[in-house]
């Protein structure tokens, strides 16, 4: 016999939490785009070793944040999917 754990979290609560994650994902994406535009505006005004170091660090940072933001999107989708599964089980 399989014992199902009691779920105190409603599907609606999970959907609402997922929406907060989705908002954070959108905010981070907007920040990335805004900073990318700022960096582009600097390209013609700056050269040399300091520029190269900045771009190296900026590129590393950008890759990390994009990876983080991708995972945030995955978590959002999974939370919605879990809520949908819970709703389906509740309706059975």
pLDDT, greater one: 56 or 3: 56
- Matching residue, tokens 């999974």: 78
Q: Give the DSSP letter string of 22-52.
A: HHHHHHHHHHHHHHHHHHHHHGGG--SHHHH
> Is pLDDT at 17 greater than 80 in this prediction?
yes
If you average pLDDT over residues 13-26, what whole number do you get?
A: 98
What's the pLDDT score for residue 3? 64
Prediction pTM value: 0.81
34-87 pLDDT tens trace? 999 999 999 889 999 999 999 999 999 999 999 999 999 999 999 999 999 988
Give the angle subtended at the CA of 48 by the CAs of 51 and 52, to the nearest 5°. Answer: 35
Closest by Cα among 6, 23, 10, 29 to 75? 23
Closest by Cα among 31, 36, 18, 28 to 69? 28
Instruction: Show me where the domains of the chain are located.
Output: 12-40+48-91
Q: Which CATH number does the domain 12-40+48-91 belong to among 3.40.50, 3.30.1370, 1.10.357, 1.10.287?
A: 1.10.287
């Amino acid at each position: 016999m399989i014992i199902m754990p009691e779920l105190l979290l409603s599907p609606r609560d999970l959907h609402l939490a997922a929406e907060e994650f989705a908002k954070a994902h959108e905010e981070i994406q907007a920040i990335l785009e805004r900073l990318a535009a700022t960096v582009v505006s600097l390209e013609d005004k700056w050269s040399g070793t300091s520029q190269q170091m900045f771009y190296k660090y900026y590129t590393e940072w950008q890759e990390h944040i994009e990876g983080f933001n991708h995972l945030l999107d995955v978590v959002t989708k999974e939370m919605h999917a879990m809520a949908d599964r819970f709703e389906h089980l509740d309706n059975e």
